[in-house]
Amino acid sequence: MNFLVTVVSFFLVTAVYSSESDEMQDFESLLENVSDIATKKSLNVDYLPSVVTVVDAKTYMDAGIQNIGEALGMLPGIQIQLSPMGYAMTTVRGFKNPNAYLSDKIKILIDGVAINNEVSGSSNLYMDFPMQLVQRIEVLRGPNSTTYGAGAFYGTVNIITKLGNSKKTDQIFLGTGSYGYMTAGANVYDISDNWKFFADGYYQKNSKSLPVDGSSIGTDEAMRDFSLGFKAINGGFEFMTRYKQNVSGNFYGFEEDLDPIPEHPKEHKNSYFFSQLSYKTLLNDYKLETKANFSHRMLDEGANIVGVTGIATRFAVVGITDMQDGFFYHEKQQEQNLEAEMILTFPEIKSNDILAGVGVRHVEVTQDDYYNSVENAITQNISTILASPNYDNFRYRYENEPAFWANPTTTFLKEGINRTITYGYLQDLISLTNDVDVVFGVRADSYSDFGTKISKRAAVVYRATDETVFKLLYGSAFRAPTLTEAYANGHINYRAGDENILPEETNTYEAVAIYSPNFYNKFSLNLFYSELDNVIDLEEYETTIPGYQNYDDRVSKGAEFEYYFDAKQGHSLYFNATYVETDYTTPPEEDSVSTNQSMPDISDVMLKAIYIYRPTNKFSLGTAWHYYSATKQTGLEWVSKDSTVKEVHTFDETITYRFSAFSEARVGVKNIFDADVREPSYYYNTNGGIRREGRNFFLSYVQNF
């Protein structure tokens, strides 16, 4: 409590401390505070009919933020955790499902290009993208399907790189840190006649392993990651392309039991390539933008699940004595997306700013190979297994694995799966008076496999004074079932999809108040209430084939507070606080019924802050602070462990020294007080959660030319 009183007192002191600034500096600050994510227009972010936070990459780097995932984790309402295999799971405003690693339910865009993953719905591949290549990040909390379609469900994130922002930058950067971390990267640009060329790239790796409670071996988090990007501009013509690849160890293992066959380690490889061609032109005061893009996603993943001895014993029960492979799987999958979109911005018509768009996207799974050592042994010895007098004692008999036995296959999805989405949207920003704007938006998305969904939005923005803005917002959104949730084949240790599953839908209501007494200070308070319908969650009955089902309504409500203080020279402070209450229903099983409870595995109170002190133009000291309240115990009857994670404070300290206008170095210590940081155990195998990073360091150098 004393610590919180100190923090609040500091905010009040900094607000009183602020004085008038040079007019040009104030104007530049205003120009920097723009966003094009909420309405696809560039406006003062406070006037947008949405809840938007704009992340300045330079400020965040001065506070020690190293990548996209860390940057998002600093924002209100957002909590990032890990799946057992090391995939980042992004939870916004407390809406988390047990299968969250399959769909993080936010829309990620790189320089305005959506990162599509129709199979699993996750964009976690870009969470380790380095901040050195980023100009800013625009984050819209709440639904925004009217503009960005399915997936813009809990939030939308537009990562604007220096390349995407057409920033004329020649730079190289180098870095090192704990866990054998090393990185190098660069931005370059060139101008030739009417052409402008931009390129960037980086490579990073580590040999990370963290201790695991009760084990003599640690996690396997070693990774190799790189990306290359290119952009060419000529007048209204623009071509942009990027490739990213990540190869990582399997962290805690498929079932959070580390690697049971360490002599044959497995890893997962993910890559994503996209290219977009766009053209902007004016037609009698109408602005027309046409875009066509192609993306290719590849997954090459393997994991060990049960050791050799354990599997040999299970098969010996039914007379199979030569099963010496253990239990492992290997999956290789490729997905392609082709999309074309046309956006028309009308000239102002009687205070109406109208934007309309139409488009089509086609999704096709071009490779789908799945191998499972246990399934392979069963299909090769099925006659012996069925004839065994001990069949009823076989761990993998039909009664335990009906989804596999009903249709043994070597593909992850049903054959011939593809999806086509056609869409159209209309948005009208109406200036009723100089002080009042209203927005109406509607969008229709027609899916070839489950029909048409309508998304709506309405908002009122009232500029009561030069310092005070009020907003009332409504938005509806939907999330289409991933191909996994709808069409996955049943496999041992993998759930089967349900072709009859319905899209998730949400209706969100928000009230926002913003007070900016001067260019130094801004206070923002947002109250939200969200209703979630047709929740896609797990189906836990062993005797049924589908592994997913729709659940009844759930509700999330809460408050988000943000405070900004920026004196340009001297002090900068960003603080946010979140309180959230979210409903959850535990999936029923054969020997238990559903129970209603508060959402487990999330923190209902989150406090975060960045403070930068700049005594000179050359030197700055940055602090990043996180507080997460304790999580709640799950109501699942089979869980015997204490699944709660205790509250935690962490502090990161970063020193930045600018040798000149062209070069700078940073050294930082994360979790400087070596707090015991834990995350919820995905399978509830560990009391108090799984252990994450203690105190660690990084060092980086940037040279501009």
Which residues lie below 8 Å from residue 34, measured CB to CB, with a gap of 6+?
42, 43, 44, 45, 54
Which residues lie below 8 Å from residue 322, measured CB to CB, with a gap of 6+?
none
| Spatial separation of the C-alpha atoms in residues 69 and 365, rounded to whole Å | 28
| Spatial separation of the C-alpha atoms in residues 427 and 285, rounded to whole Å | 18
The answer to whether 302 touches 330, Cβ cutoff 8 Å, is yes
pLDDT given at position 102: 66
Query: Which H helix or E strand runs over 178?
Result: none
Q: Using alpha carbons, select from 558, 512, 573, 468 the residue that is nearest to residue 8.
A: 573
Work out the burial of residue 543: count CB atoms within 10 Å of its CB; fewer than 13 is exposed, 13-18 middle, 19 or more buried. exposed
Q: Using alpha carbons, select from 648, 644, 651, 659 the residue that is nearest to residue 622.
A: 651
The answer to whether 599 touches 583, Cβ cutoff 8 Å, is yes
Weakly modelled stretches of the chain, pLDDT under 50: 1-32, 37, 39-43
The answer to whether 575 touches 606, Cβ cutoff 8 Å, is no
pLDDT given at position 443: 95
The answer to whether 579 touches 604, Cβ cutoff 8 Å, is yes
Q: Using alpha carbons, select from 279, 172, 203, 175 the residue that is nearest to residue 235.
A: 279
pLDDT given at position 13: 39
pTM of the model: 0.91
Structure tokens given for 701: 């150098």
| Spatial separation of the C-alpha atoms in residues 500 and 548, rounded to whole Å | 10
Give alpha helix (H) positions in 66-219. 68-72, 145-148
| Spatial separation of the C-alpha atoms in residues 160 and 138, rounded to whole Å | 8
Torsion on CA atoms 169, 701, 675, 613, rounded to nearest 10: -70
pLDDT given at position 641: 85
Question: Crossing angle of helices 308-316/373-380, nearest 10°?
Answer: 20
Structure tokens given for 596: 């209603």
pLDDT given at position 27: 36
pLDDT given at position 588: 82
The answer to whether 460 touches 438, Cβ cutoff 8 Å, is yes
pLDDT given at position 19: 39
| Spatial separation of the C-alpha atoms in residues 232 and 270, rounded to whole Å | 26
Residue-range domain boundaries for the chain: 2-704
Which residue bears the tokens 């957002």? Answer: 78
Q: Using alpha carbons, select from 235, 236, 390, 225 the residue that is nearest to residue 313.
A: 390
- Residues facing 577 on adjacent strands: 561, 607
pLDDT given at position 100: 58
pLDDT given at position 99: 64
Q: How many helices (H) does the chain have, and how many strands (E)?
A: 10, 36
Q: Using alpha carbons, select from 224, 244, 300 the residue that is nearest to residue 269.
A: 300
Q: Using alpha carbons, select from 118, 111, 113, 107 the residue that is nearest to residue 140.
A: 107
Q: Using alpha carbons, select from 293, 278, 280 the residue that is nearest to residue 340.
A: 293
pLDDT given at position 543: 80
Written as one string, the DSSP assignment of 366-380 is EEEEEEEHHHHHHHH
The answer to whether 34 touches 52, Cβ cutoff 8 Å, is no
Query: Which H helix or E strand runs over 9?
Result: helix 2-17
Per CATH, domain 2-704 is 1.10.10.10: no
For the chain, the distance separating the N- and C-terminal CA atoms, rounded to the nearest angstrom, is: 48
**Sign of the Cα pseudo-torsion (98, 99, 105, 110, in order):** positive
